[in-house]
């Protein structure tokens, strides 16, 4: 992995902030979704983000090295010191931070955490890593879960699901995903916006499969994107942009069609459907804070939908009027988007998959009752695990007599999984994603 160049930042205070931000993830009580980069100066925010996401991305390997470097593990109350050690290892091995900063300022950050005793321990561990880096890495990499930087249970899941591809999936998960844009087709064309980017010195290329998709050569802040605040463009992975294509046969010739976007937050697919078709759309989510993000997204794009806070596995929210089409972006393990949410490696647990599969099935059964005869339901997840995808839809079809899978056979992307279609994460392309289109028999 090529080491990215970064600003060395403001020393000890920055690294202490990174350690504090990582503690909730390390102890399993929080995620990087709560990372507040405003706690540091604007010039240091990109480094804070790079440090926190990088540590989570490489966590299994960092923890194995930390265990080798320490004579005795830190106590539970010193998770912040453990985080500093992981940060130091990450900087030495994965970032082009000067070694003196990676060692001295990381060790010194213990003082900012009111634990000056840890300075000497951290300094000794990191200097040993400098001296013995090759030997120590070769030793810990004997364990596949360390070398591939995934928890053993998840690596086993990937191996069982994709015996020919599991290592490639893991390696793709360990790389940062590209920043991908969706051009608002109501306001512009992809080629026209690509020209705007080029005039601003922002390099991008068209996505292979998403007709409004552009992939940036280098990520940037959204505020730097021309016309972002005016709704010309949104940030959305290429795989997530494929839903309108699958629903087009149902919606393209039905202006004003009633559509449900279930589990809709944060609203990327909601907005994309409204950009692509003339719809009467209801966006449903069980989290009011996340639903507020859908509202913010629609406001920026000057789009309109009915927003409802409710549990999609119940029908308490439904007014009895059937929908012509449903998009169910089901809650899932996120195993296809680990590169964008690397804290999944720590926060997800083996029994979560069974629990999620049960919830997905309950939502499918409930929403099917709200679909009009002759309508279509598009089931989607950002998972690569069959229990949440093809197995889930196969079970649903077996217990639902009026359901028939109609996912197109001739799509240029993904793999046919019978039922549905699976995309695996690509290093320079799309995330891991699953789609299955299900038609309801006419009355």
Which pair of tokens denotes residue 408? Answer: 């197109």
Q: Look up residue 438 and give its two tokens.
A: 């299900």
Whole-number Å distance between alpha carbons of 248 and 271:
15
* Burial class of residue 253 (count of CB atoms within 10 Å of its CB; 0-12, 13-18, 19+): exposed
Q: Token digits for 169? A: 């999936």
Query: Is 382 one of the catalytic residues?
Result: yes
Contact (Cβ atoms closer than 8 angstroms) between residue 368 and residue 374:
no
134 backbone dihedrals φ, ψ, rounded to 5°: -65, -45
The answer to whether the beta carbons of residues 74 and 117 sit under 8 Å apart is no
C-alpha–C-alpha distance, residues 235 and 155, integer Å: 29
Maximum CA pair distance of the chain? 75
- Burial status of residue 204 (CB atoms within 10 A of its CB: 0-12, 13-18, 19 or more): buried
Which of 52, 125, 332, 382 is catalytic? The answer is 382
Residues 6+ apart with CB under 8 A from 40: 9, 10, 13, 14, 17, 48
Please answer whether residues 312 and 286 qualify as being in contact, where contact means their C-beta atoms are separated by less than 8 angstroms: yes
Query: Catalytic positions, please?
Result: 382
């Amino acid at each position: 992995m090529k080491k990215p160049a970064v600003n060395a930042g403001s020393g000890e205070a920055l690294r202490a902030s990174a350690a504090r931000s990582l503690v909730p993830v390390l102890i399993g009580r929080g995620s990087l979704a709560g990372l507040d980069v405003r706690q540091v100066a604007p010039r240091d925010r990109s480094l804070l983000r790079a440090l926190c996401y990088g540590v989570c991305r490489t966590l299994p390997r960092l923890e194995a090295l930390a265990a080798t470097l320490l004579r005795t593990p830190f106590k539970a109350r010193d998770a912040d010191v453990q985080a500093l050690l992981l940060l130091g290892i990450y900087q030495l091995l994965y970032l082009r931070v000067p070694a003196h900063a990676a060692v001295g300022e990381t060790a010194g950050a213990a003082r900012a955490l009111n634990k000056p005793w840890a300075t000497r321990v951290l300094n000794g561990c990191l200097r040993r890593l400098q001296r013995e880096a090759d030997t120590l890495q070769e030793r810990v990499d004997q364990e596949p879960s360390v070398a591939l930087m995934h928890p053993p249970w998840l690596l086993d899941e990937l191996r069982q699901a994709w015996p020919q591809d599991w290592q490639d999936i893991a390696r793709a998960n360990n790389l940062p995903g590209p920043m991908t844009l969706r051009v608002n087709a109501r306001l512009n064309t992809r080629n026209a916006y690509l020209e705007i980017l080029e005039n601003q010195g922002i390099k991008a290329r068209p996505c292979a499969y998403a007709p409004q998709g552009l992939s940036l050569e280098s990520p940037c802040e959204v505020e730097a994107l021309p016309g972002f605040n005016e709704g010309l463009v949104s940030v959305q992975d290429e795989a997530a942009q494929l839903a309108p294509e699958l629903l087009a046969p149902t919606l393209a010739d039905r202006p004003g069609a009633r559509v449900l976007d279930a589990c809709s937050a944060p609203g990327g697919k909601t907005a994309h459907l409204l950009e692509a078709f003339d719809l009467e759309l209801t966006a449903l989510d069980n989290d009011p804070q996340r639903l507020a993000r859908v509202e913010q997204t629609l406001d920026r794009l000057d789009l309109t939908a009915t927003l409802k806070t409710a549990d999609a596995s119940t029908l308490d929210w439904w007014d009895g009027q059937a929908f012509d089409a449903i998009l169910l972006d089901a809650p899932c393990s996120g195993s296809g988007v680990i590169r964008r949410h690397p804290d999944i490696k720590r926060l997800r647990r083996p029994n979560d998959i069974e629990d999620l599969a049960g919830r997905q099935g309950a939502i499918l059964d409930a929403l099917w009752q709200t679909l009009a005869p002759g309508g279509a339901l598009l089931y989607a997840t950002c998972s690569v695990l069959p229990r949440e995808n093809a197995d889930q839809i196969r079970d649903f079809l077996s217990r639902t007599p009026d359901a028939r899978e109609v996912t197109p056979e001739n799509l240029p992307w993904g793999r046919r999984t019978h039922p549905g279609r699976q995309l695996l994460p690509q290093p320079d392309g799309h995330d891991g994603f699953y789609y299955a289109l299900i038609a309801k028999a006419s009355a």
